[in-house]
C-alpha cells in the first residue's frame, strides 16, 4: 500500500498569516485570536493520518452465471474493514472489464467504515459473448483530514470471471429438422414432378411428355411441362457497412455485429440442413481478409469451395469485430438516431478507393453493382442487415428486377426512447414495408426475442 502525504491544509497557514497581519494592522485582538482557528486546522491536517495496519476485504458476487449476450448482470461488491481502527474514507473502484458497459448503478463507492463494518455497492452491466476477467479493485484510503492517502489494489474474493454463453455453435433445437431441403421450386416449366402447364408440341420434345389423351380427343400434339426444380444456391450477404456500426445504447451490440451474428446462425442452420450457402459481406473492404477478397473488393466464400466453413467463420468474425471495434472507438456516435439515406463520412471513408473504378460513383451503388456481378443466376439471396439506411432496400429492388428471390433478416437496434431513435425506428419500419413491396421475405428480429424465432420465420420460406 503506497502512502502519499497531501499538503492539503497549507491554506490554513496562509489564513493564519493573513489574520495575524490584518490583526496587527487594525490592532484587533479578535483577528489575532482568530488566527488560532486556521492554525488548529493545520495541526489537524498534520496529525491525522491513515491508521497503521489498515486493511479491507472486497468480495464480488454476480447475480447469475452464464448470462446470454445483451442480458443484464447484477454485481454486488462488498467492502469490509478488517482492521481494528475505523477508516473515515474508503474509496473502492471495481475493475470492470473495458468491454462490458455498466448500465445502472456505479462500480465505485466512497464510505466511512468502522472496524468490521462493511458497505455493499450493486450495479448492473450488459453481458457479452465470451469470457471477461475482472481486474482487482483499486482501494484508496484517506485520513479524516484528507492529509494522507494510501492506495492499493486488493484481490477480490468471490466471482472474478464473467462467462457469456450462447455460443454460435450451439444448435437451436427447434430448428434441428427443417421440413424439406435441397431443392427450390421455380416458376419455370420443364422437367420435374409437379404439373406446371401445357404448351404446343415442338419438334424434339420427348415422347413421354406428349399428352396423348389430348391428342386422342383433339388430334393436336400438346406437351406437358412440369415445375422445374433447381438446386438451391443460397448467398448470404452480411451488411457490415460503417453506417450500421451503431448501437441503441452503450455496451449493447452494434447493428453490424448483430447482422453478422444472425448471418452466422443462419449459416449454421442451413449447413445442418444440407445446404452450404455462399457467404459474402459488404463493408469489410478494409479488413484485409487475405485470400477471400476478390479483385472487386468483396470477400466471397463459395458454398462449394474448400475450407468453406472456416472461411465463412472468418468473414463473420471480421464483420463482428469491425462492428464491436467501431462502437468502442467512438462511443459518442453510439446512439442510433439517424436512419437517413446515407450518412456521408464513415461510409465513404472505407468504401472509396478499394474497388474497381471507384472514381466518382456512389460507394453504395458500387457495392450493389459488384454484388450483382458476382451473384450466380440461380441464387437466392439472404441479406442480414440492421436496415439503418436505404441501401438494402435499393439492393433488394435491384435483385427483384433481376428475378432473384430474396430474404431479409434484420435485427432491430432502434428500440431506444430518444426522439432520434424513434424517428430511426419509424424509418426502419418504412423500409421494411418497402422491402415487402419489392417481393422480399422479411423477418425482423426484435432484440427482446430469441433469434431462433426470427430464423424460424425466415427459413421455412426459404427452404420450403
Partner 1 sequence: MSTTPDPPDTDVARRHEDRTLPTRTSVAIVVVGTVGLVAVLLGRVGPALVPALVAIAGALALAGGFWAVSSERFRTVGQVAGGLLAFPVGAGFVIGVVGTALVLVEVYFPVPDAGLIAVNALLLVSRLGIVVGCVLAVLGAVLGVRSVVGPATLSRYYWTVVRTGTVPFAVTAVAAGGAVLSEATGGPGPGATPVGTVTGLVGWLATPGPGLHVASFFVLVSAAAMGVRAAVTALPVAELLADRGVGGVGTRRLGTVDRVLLYVGVATLGAALAGLYVDVQFRTPARLAIAVGPGVADLLAGPTGAPALRTPLVAVGLVAAAVVAGTRLLRRAVRASLTGAARRVGPVLVGGVLTLAALAVAAPAFDRLVAEVAGRLPSVFATEFRQVTGSVGEFYGPETVVLGLMTACLVVAGLLVLAGRLLLWLGYLSSRRAGFATASAGLFLATVFAGTLETPAPLVFGGLVVSLLVWDAGEYGTTLGEEVGRRARTRSGELVHIGGTVAVGVVGVGAALAVRAVLAGRAVDPSPAAVAGLVAALAGAVLLVAALR
Which residues in the 62-81 window bind partner 1 by CB under 8 A?
68-72
Residue 255 Cβ vs partner 1, minimum distance, rounded to whole Å: 14
Which CB, 64 or 433, lies closer to partner 1? 64
- Residues 438, 397: contact at Cβ < 8 Å? yes
Strands 300-301 and 278-282: antiparallel
* C-alpha dist (Å) from residue 108 to 111, 112, 284, 389, 425: 10, 14, 38, 39, 35
What is the total count of residues that contact partner 1 (CB under 8 A)?
80
Phi, psi angle pair for 229, to nearest 5°: -120, 130
Nearest Cα to 407, choosing from 433, 387, 380? Answer: 380
User: What is the spatial distance between Cα 75 and Cα 77, in angstroms, rounded to a whole number?
Assistant: 6
Beta carbon of residue 107, minimum distance to partner 1 (angstroms, whole number): 8
Q: Which is nearer to partner 1, 105 or 460 (CB)?
A: 105
Point out which span in 27-35, 353-361, 369-377, 435-443 binds partner 1 (CB under 8 A): 27-35
| Residue 201 found at the interface with partner 1 (CB under 8 A) | no
Q: Which of residues 313-342 bind partner 1 (CB under 8 A)?
A: 331-332, 334-335
In the complex, least distance from residue 69 CB atom to partner 1, rounded to whole angstroms: 7
Pairing between strand 233-239 and 87-95?
unpaired
Q: Which is nearer to partner 1, 223 or 333 (CB)?
A: 333
Question: Alpha-carbon distance 409 to 461, whole Å?
Answer: 12
The pair phi, psi for residue 93, each rounded to 5°, is -120, 120
Which residue's CB is nearer to partner 1, number 181 or number 447?
A: 447
Task: Indicate whether 409 belongs to the interface with partner 1 (CB under 8 A).
Answer: no
Binding mask 161-200 for partner 1 (x = CB under 8 A): ----------------------------------------
- Can you point out the beta strands (E) in 82-117? 87-95, 102-104, 108-113
Using rule CB under 8 A, residue 40 touches partner 1: yes
User: Strands 406-412, 441-446: parallel, antiparallel or unpaired by DSSP?
Assistant: parallel
Q: Which one, 185 or 250, has the nearer CB to partner 1?
A: 250
Instruction: Evaluate whether 162 touches 100 at the Cβ level (below 8 Å).
Output: yes
Does 309 engage in binding with partner 1 (CB under 8 A)? no
The interface mask with partner 1, positions 138-157, x = CB under 8 A, is --x---xxx-----------
Q: Which is nearer to partner 1, 159 or 415 (CB)?
A: 415
Among 112, 163, 197, 426, binds partner 1 (CB under 8 A): 112
Which of 60, 75, 80, 88 binds partner 1 (CB under 8 A)? It is 88
Parallel/antiparallel/unpaired status of strands 102-104 and 118-126: antiparallel
Amino acid at each position: 500500500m503506497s502512502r502519499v502525504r497531501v499538503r492539503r491544509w497549507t491554506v490554513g497557514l496562509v489564513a493564519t498569516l493573513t489574520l495575524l497581519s490584518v490583526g496587527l494592522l487594525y490592532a484587533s485582538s479578535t483577528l489575532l485570536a482568530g488566527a488560532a482557528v486556521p492554525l488548529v486546522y493545520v495541526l489537524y491536517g498534520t496529525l491525522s493520518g491513515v491508521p497503521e495496519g489498515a486493511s479491507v476485504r472486497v468480495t464480488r458476487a454476480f447475480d447469475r452465471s452464464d448470462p446470454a449476450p445483451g442480458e443484464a448482470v447484477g454485481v454486488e461488491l462488498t467492502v469490509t474493514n478488517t482492521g481494528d481502527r475505523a477508516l473515515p474514507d474508503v474509496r473502492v473502484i471495481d475493475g470492470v472489464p473495458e468491454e462490458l458497459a455498466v448500465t445502472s448503478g456505479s462500480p465505485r463507492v466512497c464510505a466511512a467504515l468502522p472496524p468490521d463494518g462493511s458497505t455493499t455497492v450493486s450495479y448492473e452491466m450488459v453481458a457479452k459473448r465470451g469470457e471477461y476477467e475482472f481486474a482487482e479493485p483499486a482501494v484508496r484510503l484517506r485520513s479524516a483530514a484528507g492529509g494522507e492517502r494510501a492506495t492499493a489494489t486488493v484481490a477480490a474474493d468471490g466471482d472474478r470471471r464473467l462467462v457469456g454463453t450462447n455460443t454460435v455453435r450451439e444448435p437451436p433445437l427447434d430448428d434441428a429438422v427443417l421440413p424439406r431441403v435441397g431443392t427450390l421450386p421455380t416458376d419455370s416449366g420443364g422437367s420435374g414432378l409437379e404439373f406446371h402447364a401445357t404448351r404446343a408440341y415442338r419438334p424434339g420434345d420427348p415422347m413421354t411428355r406428349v399428352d396423348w389423351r389430348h391428342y386422342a380427343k383433339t388430334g393436336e400434339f400438346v406437351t406437358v411441362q412440369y415445375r422445374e426444380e433447381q438446386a438451391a444456391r443460397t448467398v448470404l450477404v452480411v451488411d457490415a457497412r460503417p453506417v450500421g456500426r451503431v448501437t441503441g445504447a452503450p455496451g449493447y451490440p452494434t447493428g453490424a455485429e448483430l447482422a453478422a451474428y444472425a448471418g452466422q446462425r443462419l449459416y449454421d442452420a442451413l449447413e445442418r440442413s444440407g445446404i452450404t450457402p455462399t457467404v459474402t459481406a459488404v463493408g469489410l473492404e478494409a479488413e484485409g481478409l487475405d485470400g477471400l477478397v476478390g479483385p472487386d473488393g468483396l470477400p466471397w466464400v463459395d458454398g462449394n469451395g474448400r475450407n468453406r466453413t472456416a472461411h465463412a467463420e472468418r468473414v463473420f468474425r471480421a464483420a463482428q469485430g469491425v462492428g464491436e471495434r467501431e462502437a468502442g472507438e467512438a462511443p459518442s456516435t453510439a446512439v442510433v438516431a439517424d436512419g437517413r439515406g446515407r450518412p456521408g463520412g464513415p461510409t465513404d471513408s472505407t468504401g472509396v478507393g478499394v474497388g474497381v473504378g471507384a472514381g466518382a460513383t456512389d460507394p453504395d451503388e458500387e457495392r450493389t453493382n459488384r454484388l450483382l456481378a458476382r451473384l450466380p443466376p440461380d441464387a437466392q439471396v439472404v441479406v442480414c442487415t440492421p436496415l439503418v439506411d436505404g441501401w438494402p432496400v435499393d439492393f433488394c429492388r435491384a435483385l427483384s428486377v433481376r428475378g432473384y428471390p430474396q430474404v431479409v433478416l434484420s435485427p432491430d437496434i432502434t428500440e431506444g426512447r430518444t426522439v432520434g431513435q424513434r424517428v430511426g425506428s419509424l424509418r426502419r419500419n418504412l423500409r421494411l414495408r418497402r422491402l415487402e413491396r419489392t417481393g422480399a421475405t422479411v423477418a425482423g428480429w426484435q432484440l427482446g426475442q430469441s433469434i431462433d424465432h426470427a430464423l424460424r420465420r425466415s427459413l421455412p420460406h426459404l427452404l420450403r
